[in-house]
A and B are shown apart, each in its own frame.
Chain A
Amino acid sequence: MRYHANIRTFAIAAVVAVVALGATACGSGSSGSSSTPAAAGGDSTTGATNGTLVNVSLKEYSITVSGTMTLAAGTYTFHVTNDGTMGHNLTVNGPGVSNQTTGTFDAGGTADLTVTLKNGTYDLYCSVPGHKALGMDATITVGTGGSGGGSSGGGSTQSGGGWS
């Protein structure tokens, strides 16, 4: 009886894993970017984390990017945490990246978004209606003086047009 229960649990877990891998593959298929939303409360770091890791925190109504806001060209994985109280997403728009998004995920959850950034300016924002206007909008510069994505140390918060 216990043996059959374990077999059943293993089978369900395997199906879930296959579906999750399939979803990740679909997300990274055509645009040079991938996104992996995780369930609320989860701490997912699975999925395509093949780029330099950049931690991003979302809350009402600001976007905090760890480390520098000036990056070198290359592939980055934004590891996004929703530290707010409502659903948010991280959307990236700029040269070669057309509004790629993590998809909206619940408070407490995390999601990864892998994008290849070229020289230029990229807009990082939350595309939930109204959130960008309220301040969930940050800009990163790629190219000039880039020093790689910082993932530790003092974070930089850009909320609207000002630094805090």
Chain B
Amino acid sequence: MSDGAGELRPLPSILLWGFAISCLGGPLALLAVELPDAVGGRALDSIGLVTLAGAALFVAPMLVWWRFSARIASSGGLYAFTRLAVGERVARVQGWTWVVSYQLYLGFTVTEVVYDLLPQAFPGVDPWRKWLLVGVACGLAAALVFAERAVLWVLLGSVIAQVVVMVVLAGAVLSGHGWSWSSFSVASHSGSVARGIANASLLFVCGSLPLFLGGEVTGGGRELRRIVAGSAGAVAVLLVVTAAPLAVYAGSDLAGLELPGHTVALVESGATLARWVAVVAIASVLGLMAAEFIALTRLLHAMTGAGVQRSARLVAAGFVALALISLIDPERLYSYMITPSLVALYVSQVIVFGSYGVMKLRERVLRPSDLLVTAVSCGLMLFGLEVVISQQPYF
């Protein structure tokens, strides 16, 4: 952890690899928790194609981040990009919107972990869930405030474990059913497949988190860009290969389950692998939360000038406060927090991608490819907004 003056210690690139891969899902949580739901039950028979196309579609937003990071690599991340492109005022709107989004995300995700995911692996935890909610929130916050560097090493270990579990899980499905290229074709429901592709693409939206560590990674912006691109590519390939076999579950209720990977492991292998999938998937979600927490501290440091340590305490206080508030009615407040969080996320990203187009226009170098990546990126975020608003729980 940086000292109270806000100085950033040099970050070995190996730790940024772990951090960057954790941000992409990540990635076991993508496979075992999020992806089947994002793809949807009607497009499950095309899950290989949907995942591949979703990853390919996300090349557009990645390209914007990539090009921005060639100009500036700092703790400000996306806020710094926006400031560079369109000035301080819009950048502050973008930055604070992003802070609201991720602060709320931390609050409801800890509820998801304790109330939805943990009982899948440990059904006996039900009576203890409120205590666990407080314990997980306080424990994670304390670890990130007082031992951030250790947490980064744990993230690296978690990533290795996730890759192993993903390969074993996919291997278990393949050993029972074999490889089928039909997962990469559109058998029917082309509308559902198209929607699944956009949904799957949005799962990579947290891939911007490593950009907030641009001010401290050893090797600077060049190393940052190498790791961001490399981790995204590696995770995309791994996810496509391990998700494609799940097409055998077409017609089942897999997409509607809380922890689909757990059920798949139960069917294909047995209780032992299922338990491992659940435990490592939970670690995967907690790892993503840790990455978000760290990125938030860097952004607050960049926007307010506060030391990183002080920023971490602020984020921790907000996180624990939200967790305590959610104790009033955890499952209801979960659904009430997720909507404003995602709306803020997509709005903040639209500002970043729109700023890129504006910057190129102002510099009089707006090529067709710039226009295309701007349009695709903004369109994807607007699709995300449409999904969130149409599913909001308030009315």
Residues on A facing B (Cβ under 8 Å): 60-62, 86, 128-131, 133-135, 159-160
Q: Among A62, A135, A160, find the residue whose CB has the most chain B CB atoms closer than 10 A.
A: A135
In the complex, number of A-B residue pairs with CB atoms less than 8 Å apart: 38
Q: Among B176, B252, B263, B271, find the residue whose CB has the most chain A CB atoms closer than 10 A.
A: B252
- A129 engages B251 (CB within 8 Å): no
> In the complex, which residues of chain A have a beta carbon less than 8 angstroms from the beta carbon of B267?
128-131, 134
Residues on B facing A (Cβ under 8 Å): 176, 248-249, 251-254, 256-257, 263-264, 266-267, 270-271, 274
> In the complex, which residues of chain A have a beta carbon less than 8 angstroms from the beta carbon of B248?
60
- B270 engages A129 (CB within 8 Å): yes
Which chain A residue has the least Cβ–Cβ distance from B266?
A130
> In the complex, which residues of chain A have a beta carbon less than 8 angstroms from the beta carbon of B176?
86
- B256 engages A160 (CB within 8 Å): yes
Bound-state Cα–Cα, A100 to B305, Å: 67
B176 to chain A, nearest CB (A): 8
- Which of B253, B270, B271, B274 is within 8 Å of A134, CB to CB? B253
Which chain A residue has the least Cβ–Cβ distance from B265?
A130
Which chain B residue has the least Cβ–Cβ distance from A160?
B253
Ranked 7 nearest A-B pairs via Cβ: A130-B266, A130-B267, A61-B252, A134-B252, A135-B253, A160-B253, A130-B263
> In the complex, which residues of chain B have a beta carbon less than 8 angstroms from the beta carbon of A60?
248, 251-252
Q: Is the interface of B mostly helix, strand, loop or mixed?
A: helix
Bound-state Cα–Cα, A130 to B251, Å: 15
Which chain A residue has the least Cβ–Cβ distance from B177?
A85
Bound-state Cα–Cα, A43 to B257, Å: 35
Bound-state Cα–Cα, A160 to B274, Å: 21
- B252 engages A135 (CB within 8 Å): yes
> In the complex, which residues of chain B have a beta carbon less than 8 angstroms from the beta carbon of A159?
251, 253
Bound-state Cα–Cα, A128 to B253, Å: 15
Which chain B residue has the least Cβ–Cβ distance from A137?
B253
- B256 engages A129 (CB within 8 Å): no
Q: Among B176, B248, B253, B254, find the residue whose CB has the most chain A CB atoms closer than 10 A.
A: B253
- Which of A86, A133, A160 is within 8 Å of B263, CB to CB? A133
Which chain B residue has the least Cβ–Cβ distance from A61?
B252
Which chain B residue has the least Cβ–Cβ distance from A136?
B252
Bound-state Cα–Cα, A131 to B251, Å: 12
> In the complex, which residues of chain B have a beta carbon less than 8 angstroms from the beta carbon of A62?
251
- B271 engages A129 (CB within 8 Å): yes
Could you name 27 residue pairs across A and B whose Cβ atoms are closer than 8 Å?
Answer: A60-B248, A60-B251, A61-B249, A61-B252, A61-B253, A62-B251, A86-B176, A128-B267, A129-B270, A129-B271, A130-B263, A130-B264, A130-B266, A130-B274, A131-B267, A133-B253, A133-B263, A134-B249, A134-B252, A134-B253, A134-B254, A134-B257, A135-B252, A135-B253, A159-B251, A160-B253, A160-B256
Bound-state Cα–Cα, A122 to B295, Å: 51
Bound-state Cα–Cα, A159 to B270, Å: 23
* Besides the known contacts A130-B266, A134-B254, 8 further A-B residue pairs in the complex with CB atoms under 8 A apart: A60-B248, A131-B267, A133-B253, A134-B249, A135-B252, A159-B251, A159-B253, A160-B256
Bound-state Cα–Cα, A62 to B249, Å: 11
> In the complex, which residues of chain A have a beta carbon less than 8 angstroms from the beta carbon of B263?
130, 133-134
Which chain B residue has the least Cβ–Cβ distance from A62?
B251
Which chain B residue has the least Cβ–Cβ distance from A128?
B267
Which chain B residue has the least Cβ–Cβ distance from A86?
B176
Q: Among A61, A129, A134, find the residue whose CB has the most chain B CB atoms closer than 10 A.
A: A134
Bound-state Cα–Cα, A61 to B249, Å: 8
> In the complex, which residues of chain B have a beta carbon less than 8 angstroms from the beta carbon of A135?
251-253
Which chain A residue has the least Cβ–Cβ distance from B258?
A133
Bound-state Cα–Cα, A133 to B262, Å: 11
Which chain B residue has the least Cβ–Cβ distance from A133?
B263
> In the complex, which residues of chain A have a beta carbon less than 8 angstroms from the beta carbon of B274?
129-130
B183 to chain A, nearest CB (A): 16
Which chain B residue has the least Cβ–Cβ distance from A85?
B177
- A133 engages B257 (CB within 8 Å): yes
- Which of A61, A86, A128, A133 is within 8 Å of B251, CB to CB? A61
Bound-state Cα–Cα, A134 to B254, Å: 6
Which chain A residue has the least Cβ–Cβ distance from B259?
A133
Bound-state Cα–Cα, A14 to B254, Å: 47
Bound-state Cα–Cα, A60 to B266, Å: 15
Bound-state Cα–Cα, A54 to B342, Å: 49
> In the complex, which residues of chain A have a beta carbon less than 8 angstroms from the beta carbon of B252?
60-61, 134-135
Bound-state Cα–Cα, A61 to B3, Å: 56
> In the complex, which residues of chain B have a beta carbon less than 8 angstroms from the beta carbon of A131?
267
